[in-house]
Amino acid sequence: MLIKNDLYQEAKAFIELCCQELGRTDEECEQRLADIQLEIDSYGTYTHTYEELSFGAKLAWRNSNRCIGRLFWKTLEVFDARAAKTEEEVAAAIFRHIQYGTNQGKVRPAITVFKEERNGSHIRIWNHQLIRYAGYERNNQVIGDPASLAFTRACLRLGWKGNEGRFDILPLVIQVDDRPPQWFEIPKQDVLEVPLSHPSLEFEKLGVQWYGVPFVSDMVLEIGGIRYTAAPFNGWYMETEIGARNLADERRYNLLPQVASLMKLDQSSNATLWKDKALVELNVSVLHSFKLAGVSIVDHHTAADQFKLYETMENKHNRSITGDWTWLIPPVSPATTEIFHSKYDNTVVKPNFFYQDSPFAELLN
Ligand code: ARG
């Protein structure tokens, strides 16, 4: 936790930004800061109003240098779940978030903010994403998602039983303070999944699917010096996240050889560019399948155009943008997008989302 004066300085910077952008008067701003100073003096911390929490979460999205989807930062729905105390209450708020964000496929960006870290008391969601596939090691081979190996092992140790399938939805694991973590099966009807098909190729033969909505759940949201260690958020997918990474990376589902076989490509030499051809069709398949299933998704060309529009909009409000070029360029045909030919300042501005230490490393030692 920050020492009192550092916390006040962080709070001040944030509150002044709020006042400026939300059009509060100087008097209102000074009054709020005086209240915060008193609160910090007495309790060593302070509590955000809903307006501050909501605006702070939106700013954290606006400041996420690696995110290409920031044009929509103002539309973020912010659920205040700071009153949730028990593991059951946290799980219930998360299931509501999944339902709201999924919205039968018409995906709505949302965040649920749980109680902030306070004197060592904290809430952690162990999952990297609320919905993700398990990964199991069997005879030196991986079944499922290799990215989930460690977390899956943690779930099994906690008593969860996996089916050892390629697409098993992992349970939700919640830890409150130093209590033992609790796991909850996510209600089946809340999980939207999309089987892969293709406009002309027989992708059904691959028997591959992906879940409809990414809910990142392991980052800490920092607003005005306050750390929200459990604040899962979601947007909609960009197709390359699934088609060029999750399903294509050699260290993930590694599907390019199977797609190339389906396409009857010559895989005997790198120079036939079979990987590139397979990659494009895999991405076509992801876009096609999501559209068919009525699930929101954006292609990387449109997302790149929207990012440029975001930059223009910000400049109109006399704000400069920050960004991480290495993450903003899409992994497919990067040079066809304007982003590739631009430069970005990668300064980290707060509020923002940050990585935090894995809460289950100890359990696996
Ligand atoms: N890249 C991650 C995945 O493939 C999701 C990260 C967040 N993505 C988003 N579109 N909001 O699962």
Q: How far is the CA of 214 from the centre of ligand 1 (A)?
A: 5
**Of the CATH numbers 3.50.50.60, 3.90.440.10, 3.40.50.10610, 3.40.50.150, which one belongs to the domain with range 84-111+119-191?**
3.90.440.10
Distance of alpha carbon 79 from alpha carbon 53, whole angstroms: 9
155 is catalytic: no
| The residue type at 326 | T
Q: Which of 170, 161, 182 is nearest to 134 (CA)?
A: 170
If you take atom 4 of ligand 1, which residue's CA is the nearest one? 241
Helix, strand counts (H, E) of the chain: 10, 16
- For CATH 3.90.1230.10, the residue range(s) in the chain are 193-213+238-294
Distance of alpha carbon 206 from alpha carbon 255, whole angstroms: 9
18 is catalytic: no
Along the 365 residues of the chain, how does pLDDT read in single tens digits?
688 899 999 999 999 999 999 999 999 999 999 999 999 999 999 999 999 999 999 999 999 999 999 999 999 999 999 999 999 999 999 999 999 999 999 999 999 999 999 998 999 999 999 999 999 999 999 999 999 999 999 999 999 999 999 999 999 999 999 999 999 999 999 999 999 999 999 999 999 999 999 999 999 999 999 999 999 999 999 999 999 999 999 999 999 999 999 999 999 999 999 999 999 999 999 999 999 999 999 999 999 999 999 999 999 999 999 999 999 999 999 999 999 999 999 999 999 999 999 999 988 98
Edge-first strand order for the sheet with 123-125 is 123-125, 172-176, 182-184
**Of the CATH numbers 3.90.1230.10, 3.90.1150.10, 1.10.10.10, 3.30.2080.10, which one belongs to the domain with range 193-213+238-294?**
3.90.1230.10
Q: Which residues form the pocket of ligand 1, taking CB atoms under 6 Å from any ligand atom? A: 214, 216, 235, 237-238, 241, 246
Q: How far is the CA of 215 from the centre of ligand 1 (A)?
A: 8
241 is catalytic: yes
- For CATH 3.90.440.10, the residue range(s) in the chain are 84-111+119-191
DSSP three-state, residue 139: coil
Bridge partners of 136, per DSSP, are 143
Q: What is the pTM of this model?
A: 0.98
If you take atom 5 of ligand 1, which residue's CA is the nearest one? 214
Q: Which of 217, 207, 275, 209 is nearest to 242 (CA)?
A: 209
